[in-house]
Amino acid sequence: MQRRELPENWDKDFPEQFPADEKGIATRKASAEALKAVARNVPWLVGGAADLEGSTSVGLPDEAGTFSAGDRGGRYFHFGVREHGMACVVNGLSLSKLRPYGSTYLIFSDYAREPIRLSALMEIPAIWIFTHDSIGLGEDGPTHQPVEQLASLRAMPGLVTIRPCDANEAVTAWRVLMKLHHSPVALVLTRQTVPTLDRSRYAPAAGLERGAYVLADTEHGEPELILISSGSEVALCIGAYEQLTAEGEKVRVVSMPSWELFDLQPQEYREEVLPPGVRARVSVEQGSTLGWERFVGTEGAIIGMRTFGASAPLKDVQRKFGFTPEAIVEVSRNQLELHGHVAGRSAR
């Protein structure tokens, strides 16, 4: 524990591969299964939520117990409605060489920003679990729908932000973050269900370990268009990919759950995923557009949030702000035309 090493077979109880499922499950629920699996084999994993355990799905197995005045050996903490205080406690626990986590909604990460910053400054591997990660909250409205929080976390030096696209990426994220010795992690998860991708058809979720990877690709030659996304929006890109591919376009979909992990990869790998010669690019994320120009270039298109959200059912909110496969297809066609690719040329 003092050397921040993991016990042998620490991940033996991890969930098996989640099968393809169009309805799927929320990434917070898949993460919950991985968290409990880790807790069974890493007895110094401790943590809790800022009075949101039922919503953020971060409970530990019953045998872990609850920390209280009567049980100082309990491993689950009821922090109460105090994100800042929770994050300070998590940092203290991490400095003692325990492996702690704290959890709340992504919008409330702002309350804990200074201790999160300190965890990065001190290079301690605190685990920050943030759920309800986008305008996908629907009726909770703009007060609870995070827009600028992802960009803010990504701007913090030393913090690794991971936003998985489905259940299998969520489990892989735990395999990655538990091995980090000096980097805190912000694990960003959905409230709503997201499709579990068919990994026999698309690339394995292990690609998350490198921050970004080619999830779906053209069958012949180099792509002429690249769709880049994270989280729940990856499934939307897959929907657009299937339609454009059926029309004869050469399209690649890149899942990019972690900018920071991708930045650590050799330049050769990064250019393999995002070939410099392919300038027709579209990024899709239900958050601030800030920063995505790094990956799409000055001539690429960014589908993102330029305002606060809105209170309405999930599907209505997505349509309002352009987060549908149909909207992505339209923007993609514009990109192909802009960069001199005639629509449907590959099919002919």
Where residue 149 sits, what CATH number does that domain have? Answer: 3.40.50.970
Q: Residue 82: which of 115, 45, 125 has the closest Cα?
A: 115
Instruction: Enter the pTM of the model.
Output: 0.96
Q: Please check whether residues 32 and 172 belong to one and the same domain.
A: yes
The residue out of 163, 195, 227 marking a domain boundary is 195
**Distance from C-alpha of 272 to C-alpha of 58, rounded to nearest angstrom:** 36
**pLDDT for residue 138:** 80
The residue out of 165, 195, 225 marking a domain boundary is 195
pLDDT in tens, 192-227: 999 999 999 999 999 999 999 999 999 988 999 999
Q: Please check whether residues 141 and 233 belong to one and the same domain.
A: no
Percent of the chain beyond pLDDT 90?
Answer: 94
Q: Please check whether residues 41 and 162 belong to one and the same domain.
A: yes
Active site residue 83: yes
**Distance from C-alpha of 74 to C-alpha of 187, rounded to nearest angstrom:** 24
The residue out of 166, 195, 224 marking a domain boundary is 195
State phi, psi for 147 to the nearest 5 degrees.
Answer: -125, -55
- Residue 3, CB-side half-sphere exposure with 13 Å CA sphere: 3
Arithmetic mean of pLDDT, 141-155: 96
**Structure-token match 């110094």, residue found:** 44
Position 46 in a domain: yes
Position 332 in a domain: yes
Contact 255, 165 (CB under 8 A): yes
State phi, psi for 75 to the nearest 5 degrees.
Answer: -105, -15
Q: Please check whether residues 137 and 213 belong to one and the same domain.
A: no
Q: Please check whether residues 174 and 219 belong to one and the same domain.
A: no
**Distance from C-alpha of 284 to C-alpha of 235, rounded to nearest angstrom:** 10
pLDDT at 189 over 60: yes
pLDDT at 347 over 70: no
Q: Please check whether residues 191 and 214 belong to one and the same domain.
A: no
Q: How confident is the model at residue 346 (pLDDT cuts 50, 70, 90)?
A: very low
Domain range spanning residue 231? 205-338
Q: Please check whether residues 209 and 308 belong to one and the same domain.
A: yes
Q: Residue 234: which of 158, 155, 167, 321 has the closest Cα?
A: 167
DSSP 141: -
Pair of tokens at residue 262: 């991708």
pLDDT at 294 over 70: yes
pLDDT in tens, 162-171: 999 999 999 9
**Distance from C-alpha of 63 to C-alpha of 72, rounded to nearest angstrom:** 14
Q: Please check whether residues 236 and 132 belong to one and the same domain.
A: no
Arithmetic mean of pLDDT, 83-108: 98
**Distance from C-alpha of 131 to C-alpha of 146, rounded to nearest angstrom:** 10
Give the contacts of 192 (CB within 8 A, at least 6 positions apart).
26, 136, 137, 138, 232, 314
Q: How confident is the model at residue 137 (pLDDT cuts 50, 70, 90)?
A: confident
Q: How confident is the model at residue 344 (pLDDT cuts 50, 70, 90)?
A: low
Position 1 in a domain: no
Pair of tokens at residue 43: 């007895």
Q: How many residues does the chain have?
A: 348
Structural domains counted in the chain: 2
Which residue in the list 22, 53, 63, 83 is annotated as catalytic?
Answer: 83
Q: Please check whether residues 258 and 214 belong to one and the same domain.
A: yes
Q: Please check whether residues 106 and 170 belong to one and the same domain.
A: yes
**CATH number of the domain where residue 334 is located:** 3.40.50.920
* Angstrom distances, CA of residue 108 to CA of 115, 142, 145: 13, 13, 10
**pLDDT for residue 343:** 57
